[in-house]
A and B are shown apart, each in its own frame.
Chain A
Amino acid sequence: MKVFDSRKTRVEEGDRSIYDIKDKVRSSFEVQSGLTEEIVSQISDEKNDPEWMRTFRQKSLQLYNSIPVPNWGPSLDDLNINDIVTYVRPDTPMRGKWSEVPDDIKNTFERLGIPKAERKSLAGVGAQYDSEVVYHNISAQAAAQGVVYTDMESALTGPYADMVRKHFMKLVPPSDHKFAALHGAVWSGGSFVYVPPGVSVEIPLQSYFRLNAPGAGQFEHTLIIVDEGAYLHFIEGCSAPKYSVANLHAGCVELYVGEGARLRYSTIENWSKNMYNLNTKRARVEKGGTIEWVSGSFGSHISYLYPMSILKGEGSRMEFTGITFAGGGQNLDTGAKVVHAAPHTTSHISTKSISRDGGVSTFRSSVRVMPEATGSKSSVSCESLMLDDQSRSDTIPVMDIQCDEADIGHEAKIGRISEQAVFYLMSRGISEEDAKALIVGGFAEPIAKELPLEYAVEMNNLIHLEMKGSIG
């Protein structure tokens, strides 16, 4: 049999030209780089924060200064907060029509396909550019159902101000970890969604986050409340052009899933490869509710990303489906966390990871079953594929089981592309490169089928680009 590893050729990176277009930085206001009480006050002034938020930000800053950098995970030694500009307000107010958005910003979102997707298959769109939302709109049908979808800045002072205050950073308190504290101090932008009881939003809402300014941070806050018996599919996308300086993303997502409600939260993350993606996502699920996470991680230089589900109500469920593709220069530490805190709760985590060209992919998870979670079930399955011996792939799961009446299963596999499978495909007339791309596509297929069609196509394109020329 042919030795497949003997003549590899590589391309450094796939074609990212759509994502890498840099607009001229046009801000109406930005703070200096670094993080001080004055800078945090400036952000409060600029955003006309209510008093409680001003205090909240300053307390978060104190926490940030007292909490150490994590002593686990990829190294953050090269991330210097003093080099990061934490707030850049674009020189345009939020618009409800794309025609009113400045041309260069609008063109960027056009290239990313957002307005087209909105016309075709979305019930609402929020588009954030650097630190603030520049476009927000919801379909008349969804609005008529009583669905609220607005930017966080408006929500903080609008008719839902009390609801926002009641839920804001309650699931992810600033004391949670250093970058949650940073988020609490300098957050800006993001979306607020409220779905009233019994309302089913048939087509998804989407928020897209674009970071254009070099050396800037993006700290958007997403707060979604899906009330009793309601349903929502929310899609989050993000990208940035590549710069030679570090950019930072420390967003926060808080999801409240009411009794019998269901929320699907899908993410295709494609940050540029100079980005530190230190994002925190958490859901709390009430009795009989369901949270479904679909997560694709393709971009970033370094990622720490572990969406967490707290199954608080009896019979609540979570499903996590994720894929991570780490290429050259990337160290992507991703996974999921779940806490079973009530009887008869169910969790299922299924992930795939692919490493190539020196990329490092780590799957990290924690499953905790509390003593009261009798009759609960959890299963974790993670599979990793290594495409060369320059890369790394690590699996670091933890199961903490404190209940004897629970059934917990875990399995993990790591391996390479089967030579027999490649040989077979080649014997049917397929080139070796295409055969391997086909096998990797098949490996990722269980994730792709969980995504809306357009996003599955985008993911497959990303995989194809990453694979192209890697083998041969």
Chain B
Amino acid sequence: MKERINVLPVPTWNHLKVNQAEDIFALIEAPEGGFGKADVTVSPLPEGVKTELQFPFNAFNEKIESGMGNEYDSYVMKHANTTCYLKAESRADEVIAFTAKVTDANPAIVGSYGIYAEEDSSISVMQRVSSDESARGFSAELTRIYAKKGSVVRLYQIQELGRSCRSWNAVAVYAEEGARVEVVRAIMGGKTAALGVKSFLSGRESSFALDTAYFGDENQAFDFNDVAEHWGKSSASDLYTAGVLAGESSKVLRATIDFKRGATGAAGHELEEVLMLGKKVKNKTVPLILCGEEQVEGQHAATVGRLDENHIYYLCSRGLTPSQARLLMVQGRFAPVIDRIPDEDLRESLNRQIERRLILNEQT
């Protein structure tokens, strides 16, 4: 495929191979008759939320792109085999659950989704994608969020695809004055997974929080491109990513905070923690701060490496086994993300999965 995805907002040395996603993340060519049917269900909508036939904001398409870029967005919109556009008209606290499954019978999910939140409304959406164990297929999703003045949008994305599946997932956010958008991602599966969130913080005091947890092992490869663009005065962004790389897995994380001129009083923070647990893992971290405005506060920090041996020693001295100590420390890193998922069973299931995979990777 010719689409360029996850393009770094400002390019750097080509030999580092971070200016865009590499070929292993290339999109799948659509067959003549389209991708067929997608296996996606949506839970009943709470009061105050209804569906729309089209995403109800035309200017969005012209101005706003997802973190994976316009070419990806066009691909999804052109080839979508499932669409769902939600409109929140008042405060709706109940979580709307999208459940997508890649199966042998329905191996492709190309989902175009939209969330439109009216003034002072709120909406929470959880998108889960998984697969049958034997299934070979993919999911390619795009969620566009338009948050009007004072609204709150929460989006939870959990990806648990099998190792014969591939995944692409993009989010585009537009936030008006005082609006808040929160995106929580737990990326556990897929042979390859490319993701990108871009938020366009247009309004005064608009805010965006992105919390990501990922666990890579075997030969999994992840590629992220997350961007927070600050246009509005006193807008705020917080990007947190915690991950484990084991086996022969690899990951590229591009995370950009972009302060546009006029965004006085804006603040952006970004933090990444990567735990490397294998001789053959590969990690690339590319945290950009772009700044065209003086009255801002931007910060990013990253730590990459092993668990601190002193911490493990301390925990062991308090009666834990080394394995338990390591698990505790890994869960501590993931907790800010996992604990925000509004489904206790799912939280427990993810924690069990992290424990199982950690033990498995310690043994190999």
Cα distance, A386 to B297, chains bound together (Å): 10
B286 close to A397 (CB less than 8 A)? yes
Task: Please state if A405 and B306 are interface contacts (CB–CB under 8 Å).
Answer: yes
Residue of A with least CB distance to B293: A389
Residues B302 and A410 in contact, CB atoms below 8 Å apart:
yes
Query: Does B300 make an interface contact (CB < 8 A)?
Result: yes
Main secondary structure, interface of A, reads: strand
A404–B304 CA distance with the chains assembled, in angstroms: 9
Q: Which residues of A contact B292 (CB under 8 A)?
A: 389, 391-392
Docked CA distance A392–B258 (Å): 11
B79 touches A (CB below 8 Å): no
| Range for the number of chain A residues in contact with chain B | 35 or more
A371 adjacent to chain B (CB < 8 Å): yes
Contact A408 B11, CB 8 Å, known A389-B294, A400-B284, A402-B282: no
Q: Choose among A396, A403, A408, A416 the residue that contacts B294 (Cβ–Cβ < 8 A).
A: A416
B16 within 8 A of A: yes
Contacts of B298 on A, CB cut-off 8 Å?
412-415
Contact string, A409-443, partner B, CB cutoff 8 A, digits 1/0? Answer: 11111111000000000000000000000000000
Q: With the chains together, A400 CA to B287 CA distance in Å?
A: 12
A142 CB–B CB distance under 8 Å: no
User: Is B51 at the interface (CB under 8 A from chain A)?
Assistant: no
Asked whether any CB of chain B lies closer than 8 Å to the CB of A406, the reply is yes
Is residue B324 contacting chain A, with contact meaning CB distance below 8 A? no
- Closest chain B residue to A397 by CB distance? B287
CA distance A97 to B288 in the complex (A): 51
Task: Say yes or no: is B301 at the interface (Cβ < 8 Å to chain A).
Answer: yes
- On chain B, the residues within 8 Å of A414 by CB distance are 259, 289, 291, 296-299
Q: Is B279's beta carbon under 8 Å from chain A?
A: yes
For the complex, what is the distance from the CA of A397 to the CA of B16, rounded to whole Å? 11
Partner of A72, one of B12, B293, B294: B12
Report yes or no: A407 in contact with B14, Cβ–Cβ below 8 A. no
Interface contact B281-A387, CB-CB below 8 Å:
no
Bound together, the chains give a CA A398 to CA B305 distance in angstroms of 15
Q: Complex: how many Å from CA A415 to CA B295?
A: 7
A415/B277 in contact, CB under 8 A: no
**Residues A452-469 near B (CB distance < 8 A):** none
User: Does A9 interact with chain B (Cβ within 8 Å)?
Assistant: no
**Is the beta-carbon distance between A408 and B290 smaller than 8 angstroms?**
no
Given contacts A410-B285, A414-B291, A415-B298, contact A389 B12 (CB under 8 A): no
Q: How far is the CB of A21 from chain B (nearest CB, A)?
A: 34
Q: Tell me the nearest residue of chain A to B297, going by C-beta.
A: A415
Chain B hits for A404, CB < 8 A: 276-279, 281, 305-306
Q: Is the CB of A409 within 8 A of B302?
A: yes
Q: Is B128 an interface residue (CB 8 A)?
A: no
Instruction: Tell me, rounded to whole Å, the shortest Cβ–Cβ distance linking B267 to chain A.
Output: 10
Minimum CB–CB distance from A195 to chain B (whole Å) comes to 32
Instruction: List the B residue with the shortest CB-CB distance to A412.
Output: B300
Contacts of A403 in B (CB 8 A): 276
Contact with B along A336-371 (1 / 0, CB 8 A): 000000000000000000000000000010100001
A6 within 8 A of B: no
Chain A residues positioned under 8 Å from B300 (CB to CB): 395, 410-412
Q: How long is the Cα–Cα vector from A195 to B350 in the complex, in angstroms?
A: 60
* Residue interface bits A367-384, CB-to-B below 8 A is 1, else 0: 000010000000000001
State which of A391, A398, A401, A413 has its C-beta within 8 Å of the C-beta of B18.
A398
Closest to B19 in A: A72
Shortest Cβ distance from A19 into chain B, in angstroms? 28
Interface residues in B5-25 by Cβ distance below 8 A to A read 10-14, 16, 18-19
Given contacts A392-B291, A394-B10, are A409 and B286 in contact (CB under 8 A)?
Answer: no
Nearest A residue to B302 via CB reads: A410
Q: Which residue of chain A lies nearest to B264 when distances are taken between CB atoms in the complex?
A: A389
Whether the pair B16, A366 counts as a contact (CB closer than 8 A) is yes
Which A65-96 residues have C-beta < 8 A from chain B?
71-72
In the complex, are the beta carbons of A72 and B11 less than 8 A apart? yes
Within the complex, the shortest CB–CB distance from A84 to chain B, in Å, comes to 25
Q: Which residues of A contact B264 (CB under 8 A)?
A: 389
B302 to chain A, nearest CB (A): 4
A406:B305 contact, CB within 8 angstroms: yes
B159 to chain A, nearest CB (A): 24
* B265 shortest CB reach to chain A, Å: 11
Minimum CB–CB distance from B301 to chain A (whole Å) comes to 4
Nearest opposing residue in chain B for A361, CB measure: B291
Nearest Cβ distance between residue A157 and chain B, in whole angstroms?
35
A388 at the interface (CB under 8 A from B): yes
Chain A residue with minimal CB distance to B289?
Answer: A395
Task: List A contacts of B296 (CB < 8 A).
Answer: 386, 414-416
Q: Return A77 CB to nearest CB of chain B, in Å.
A: 16
Name the distance in Å between B91's Cβ and chain A's nearest Cβ.
Answer: 36
A388 to chain B, nearest CB (A): 6
CA distance A467 to B60 in the complex (A): 43
* B-contacting residues, A247-284, CB 8 Å: none
- Enumerate 24 A-B pairs (CB-CB under 8 Å) in ascending A order: A5-B295, A72-B11, A72-B19, A389-B292, A392-B292, A395-B287, A395-B291, A396-B286, A398-B13, A398-B18, A400-B282, A401-B283, A401-B284, A401-B285, A407-B304, A408-B302, A409-B302, A410-B287, A410-B302, A410-B304, A412-B287, A414-B298, A415-B296, A416-B295
Which 8 A-B pairs rank lowest in CB-CB distance, beginning with the nearest? A386-B294, A404-B276, A408-B304, A72-B11, A414-B298, A407-B305, A411-B301, A410-B302
Residue ranges of A at the interface with B (Cβ–Cβ < 8 Å): 5, 71-72, 364, 366, 371, 384, 386-389, 391-416
